[in-house]
Amino acid sequence: MRLPSVDTALAHIRRDAAAGRFAQWGLSTLIDEFTGVPSIEKDLFDTLHRAAGIAAEFPIGNAGVLHVYGYWFSEVPTPFGYKRDRWADGQLAQALGFDADAFLLEAESESGTTELGSSASTLLERVTKAVLPALLAPPADAITADVVVGEYRTRVIALAPLEGTPSALVYGIAPIAAPMNFRLVTTFPVASDPAVMVAECITDPRLHFNAIAL
C-alpha cells in the first residue's frame, strides 16, 4: 500500500497534543528486542515529538507517538513483518470489531485524494478509545495477567478473538503507588495462541514490548 505522508501524521499529532491524549500513553524505546536497532531514525523521532510538544531523548519517547504514528514510517523488517502492518493490514481493527480501514492514517476518497483518516477523529484517538477501556477493566473472557516489575505493575490482555480474526493484545504499565493509573504501551494482533504470550510475561517478569519505566 502507499504510505501516508509525514505531514498527515503531524496534523494528527498536533490535534492529539491539543487534546492531551498522549498523557494516556506510557514510554517506549525504539530499540526493538528482535531487531536490536531503532525502528525509525532520530530526525523523524524528533519531528514527531516536537509536534506533540513532548521533550524526548532518542530512542526513548512517548509510546503513542512512536507506536501509533512512528511505526507507520519504519522500514526495519521484524520477524513479524513491518511495524506498520498492525495498522495497515486491517487485522487489528477487525480483531477489535471495526472495519478493516478503521486504523488507517490516511483514507482515500472516491476522487483518489487522501484525507486525514476515515473520520474526524485522529488515529491515536480511535486507537485509544478502542483499547484503553479494556486495559483499565479487562473483559471477563480475556486472558489477563498483572505482573509487578520493580516499582511498576504491568498488565497484558489478550482479548477473546472474534470469529475469523486473530486475538488483539493490549499492554500497559502503572506505578505501584497508583496501580489503576494504567497507561497504554502497545496493541497488536496475535495470530498464534495468545495464552503463550501472556504466560511469557508472567514467567519472565520484566518490561515487555519495548516498554520503558515511567
Model pLDDT, residue 1: 62
Cα dihedral 177→180→182→187 (10° resolution) = 140
Q: How far apart are the first and last CA of the chain?
A: 35
User: Is pLDDT above 60 for 110?
Assistant: no
Q: How far apart are alpha carbons 178 and 192 in whole angstroms? A: 33
pLDDT tens digits for 33-80? Answer: 889 999 999 999 999 999 999 999 999 999 999 999 999 999 999 999
| Arithmetic mean of pLDDT, 116-137 | 87
Q: How far apart are alpha carbons 55 and 75 in whole angstroms? A: 24
The secondary structure element, H or E, covering residue 110 is none
Residue 196's alpha-carbon distances to 78, 97, 144, 200, in angstroms, are 19, 23, 12, 6
Q: How far apart are alpha carbons 86 and 77 in whole angstroms? A: 13
* Average pLDDT of the residues of the chain: 92
pTM of the full structure: 0.93
The secondary structure element, H or E, covering residue 164 is none
Backbone φ and ψ of 90, nearest 5°: 85, -5
Q: Where are the beta strands (DSSP E) in 63-125?
A: 107-108, 114-115
Pairing relationship of beta strands 183-190 and 167-175 according to DSSP bridges? antiparallel
| Arithmetic mean of pLDDT, 96-114 | 71
128: Cα separation from own chain's centroid: 9
Q: How far apart are alpha carbons 176 and 96 in whole angstroms? A: 29
Q: How far apart are alpha carbons 190 and 180 in whole angstroms? A: 25
Q: Which three cell numbers stand for residue 54?
A: 513532548
The percentage of residues in the chain with a pLDDT greater than 90, rounded to a whole number, is 87
180: Cα separation from own chain's centroid: 19
Query: Using an 8 Å Cβ cutoff, are 166 and 191 in contact?
Result: yes
- CA torsion sign for 169, 52, 151, 132 is negative
Query: Using an 8 Å Cβ cutoff, are 182 and 131 in contact?
Result: no
